[in-house]
Amino acid sequence: KAWVARYDKSLALKIGLLLIETILKPAAEQKEHVKEMLRGEIKTGLKELNQKLSGQEYFFGEYSLADISMTPHLAAMSRLGVVIDDELTDLKAWMQRVKTRPNFDASAG
């Protein structure tokens, strides 16, 4: 639970702020420098997630609350102009595994 709470207060928060700046604000009010700053911070967070996954299929070995809580945020990133870099092989593999889970398509909207 502590790890999920830390994630929610850091990376998930930044993804949420980027969603507001990119999609919810009118175009005239969006600030490119804010979007780029958030994208950079998110990329740093993705590197940390990749390290956490090193050698594991899921964040704590088996599919858990940690994976469930991150899925909607990470699945939305491409709509916000953030992609998981190819060098983040563990995170990319995790995302592919999550996408094949039952109900992913229904819940990802």
Average pLDDT over residues 87-92: 98
* 103 pLDDT tier (thresholds 50, 70, 90): confident
What ranges do the domains of the chain cover? 2-108
Are 91 and 53 in contact by the 8 Å Cβ rule? The answer is yes
How far apart are the C-alpha atoms of 89 and 75, rounded to whole Å? Answer: 16
pLDDT(21) > 90: yes
pLDDT(106) > 80: no
Tokens 């967070």 belong to residue: 45
Q: Which of 2-16, 28-42, 65-79, 87-101 has the lowest mean pLDDT?
A: 2-16
pLDDT of residue 41: 96
Q: Mean pLDDT over all residues of the chain?
A: 92
| pTM for this predicted structure | 0.88
Are 67 and 99 in contact by the 8 Å Cβ rule? The answer is no
Average pLDDT over residues 101-105: 84
How far apart are the C-alpha atoms of 87 and 65, rounded to whole Å? Answer: 26
pLDDT of residue 109: 52
pLDDT of residue 107: 67
Fold entry, domain 2-108: Glutathione S-transferase Yfyf (Class Pi); Chain A, domain 2 (1.20.1050)
